Structure 1
Amino acid sequence: MKELFTIGDLSKLFQVKIATLRYYDEIGLLKPEYIDEKTNYRYYSTQQFERLSTIKYLRALGLPISELLEFFDYRDTDKLIEMLKRQQTEIANKKRELELVERKISRRLTQIYDATTNPLDTIMEVKLPKLRVAHLTQDYRLGEDIEYPIAELRKNFNIEENIFLGKIGISVAFKDIQSHKFDRYNSIFMVLEEGDKIPKAAVIFPSREYLRVRFRGTHVNAALFYEKLLNYIKKHNYNIIDDSIEITLIDYGITNNVDKYVTEILLPFSR
């Protein structure tokens, strides 16, 4: 049987990159049995096999290099149990995070599908569940940069920016809707989803009935559809009971094609 093995031999036997084995040597995690002073070649004996197997096993469990160094310095059963329990907790936390991400992806896919397949320019009477929102009372007029108030919203509610940012909405005040003034908004809000950190100052939009219309375009194109909603309300003898909810379901955050933008207006009403 071969007594010493080159770093290449060890790399092939254990399917570990040569660069990784050199790194393990440099940090003292896995020292070779012998180094040829003339060639600087590293040679390993079977005594290193068990240690490398343990390293591979613990790395496969996700333990960081720093903990492996600590384990081999104080190797015993209690130390291994402590490390594995700590790693088990960390993995459980990551699992919950990934499950949350999966649910967010599923919701986003559902929202995009819903926005692209439901009829446009059609008024519907819908009842929606309550919405938790981070809400900021701030005037905004069409044509102004909406990114600044969004940044203020995040700052005020300590909302971390991430790829699953909740839907952003704006509202036309009840009195302005009655006066047919649709070029200014009185608030901006972010819809908070399951798993989001709910700020103490979050506002709840109650579950209630809305008139809903979706149209191709953005807030700039909304005035015509507010008028359609008001005509519908007048025709059916309904009453507006609160500010509107206006959300761009598909915008520049999803597509570069402005012809695919979809905006939704929700107008709370009573019969």
Structure 2
Amino acid sequence: MKEFFTIGEMSKLFHVKIATLRYYDEIGLLKPQYTNEQNNYRYYSTQQFERLNSIKYLRTLGVPINRMLDFYNYREIDTLVEMLKKKQNEINGKKRELEEIERKISRRLTQIEDAVTTPLDTIFEVKIPEWRVAYLRREYVLGDDIEYPISELSTNHGIDGEIFLGKIGISISVPDLKSNKFDRYSSIFMVLEDEDQFATSERTFPSRNCLQIRFKGTHMDSSRYYRKLFAYMNEHNYELTGDSIEITLIDYGITNDRDKYVTEIVLPYTHR
């Protein structure tokens, strides 16, 4: 049985690049066992197969080179156990992160499907659930760049870009709504999900009875739908009880086709 192998043979046997084996030799992680004095060729022995397999295994787990060097230099069981437990904790942390992302994506897909399939230009009487929101009292006039207040909202609440799957909304105050001023917004908010936890303060929108309407377009097209909601409210002897909630469900962030944009307006109400 062959006992010694060249670096090229080791590379083919273990599917490890020659440059990687040379690097392991250079740093002392895996040095060839035998050197031919006549031609200065260096050879690995079969006794080193297990070590190279272990190195490959630890690299697959993402264990850093310096930690592998520590282990092989001291060869203690406790060192290996500690190294593997630390890696296990890192993997569990990544699993939790991926599970949170998966839940966010699932919710977003449900929201998109709901926005695409719900009838437009139709008023529904709904009860919205309680929402946790990151909230910013900031006047926004229709036509202004909304990205700046969104950025300010994110900065104030310590929200990073990973929250982008959440819903952004704006509100018109009760006095402006009752005065038929539908082009000036009093606040901007971001709907938070179960996984979203921030050190800064947040606000709760309570569960309420609301009138809901969805239409093709953006905030720029909302005025006529506010009028339609108020006409329905007067017809049914309802009274406005809070600021509006206006959310663009499908916009340029999802599609370039403006004909597919969908915006939702929600008005809380009570019976007079």
- TM category, shorter: over 0.9
2:170 and 2:53 map into 1 onto residues whose CA distance is: 58
- Please list, as runs of the form range in 1=range in 2, the aligned pairs for 1:29-108 lying within 5 A after superposition: 29-34=29-34, 42-108=42-108
| Percent of paired sites with the same residue | 65
2:18 and 2:210 map into 1 onto residues whose CA distance is: 65
Question: CA contact under 8 A between 2:158 and 2:200: conserved in structure 1?
Answer: no
2:144 and 2:158 map into 1 onto residues whose CA distance is: 24
2:108 and 2:134 map into 1 onto residues whose CA distance is: 19
Q: Which residue in the other structure is 1:153 paired with? A: 153
Shift of 1:52: 0.5
Q: Which residue in the other structure is 1:243 paired with? A: 243
Question: CA contact under 8 A between 2:141 and 2:183: conserved in structure 1?
Answer: yes
SS of the residue aligned with 2:162?
Answer: coil
Shift of 1:38: 9.4
Q: Structure 1 pair 124/2, CA: closer, same or farther in 2 (3 Å)?
A: same
Q: Deviations over 1:138-159 (max 9, x none)?
A: 0000111111111111111111
SS of the residue aligned with 1:143?
Answer: coil
Q: Which residue in the other structure is 2:126 paired with? A: 126
Q: Deviations over 1:217-242 (max 9, x none)?
A: 10000001000000010010001100
Q: Deviations over 1:144-199 (max 9, x none)?
A: 11111111111111111126442111001111111111011000011111211234
How does the TM-score come out when normalised to structure 2? 0.94
Shift of 1:252: 1.1
Q: Structure 1 pair 94/235, CA: closer, same or farther in 2 (3 Å)?
A: same
Q: Which residue in the other structure is 2:262 paired with? A: 262
Q: Structure 1 pair 88/217, CA: closer, same or farther in 2 (3 Å)?
A: same
Shift of 1:12: 2.2
Q: Which residue in the other structure is 2:177 paired with? A: 177
Q: Structure 1 pair 42/210, CA: closer, same or farther in 2 (3 Å)?
A: farther
Q: Does 1:5 align with 2:8?
A: no
The residue type equivalent to 1:145 in the other structure is: D
SS of the residue aligned with 2:197?
Answer: coil
1:263 and 1:38 map into 2 onto residues whose CA distance is: 80
- Aligned-residue RMSD, C-alpha: 1.8
2:16 and 2:233 map into 1 onto residues whose CA distance is: 71
Shift of 1:7: 2.1
2:246 and 2:39 map into 1 onto residues whose CA distance is: 73
Shift of 1:105: 0.9
Shift of 1:85: 1.3
Q: Structure 1 pair 164/155, CA: closer, same or farther in 2 (3 Å)?
A: closer
Question: CA contact under 8 A between 1:169 and 1:189: conserved in structure 2?
Answer: yes
SS of the residue aligned with 2:161?
Answer: coil
The residue type equivalent to 1:263 in the other structure is: T
Shift of 1:102: 0.9
SS of the residue aligned with 1:93?
Answer: helix
For these two proteins, the number of residue pairs brought into alignment is: 271
Q: Does 1:219 align with 2:219?
A: yes
How does the TM-score come out when normalised to structure 1? 0.94
Question: CA contact under 8 A between 1:192 and 1:198: conserved in structure 2?
Answer: no
Q: Which residue in the other structure is 1:209 paired with? A: 209
Q: Structure 1 pair 200/163, CA: closer, same or farther in 2 (3 Å)?
A: closer
2:264 and 2:165 map into 1 onto residues whose CA distance is: 18
1:38 and 1:227 map into 2 onto residues whose CA distance is: 95
2:34 and 2:147 map into 1 onto residues whose CA distance is: 62
Q: Structure 1 pair 5/138, CA: closer, same or farther in 2 (3 Å)?
A: same
1:163 and 1:157 map into 2 onto residues whose CA distance is: 12
The residue type equivalent to 1:246 in the other structure is: E
The residue type equivalent to 1:233 in the other structure is: M
Q: Does 1:112 align with 2:112?
A: yes
Question: CA contact under 8 A between 1:112 and 1:249: conserved in structure 2?
Answer: yes
Question: CA contact under 8 A between 1:104 and 1:164: conserved in structure 2?
Answer: no
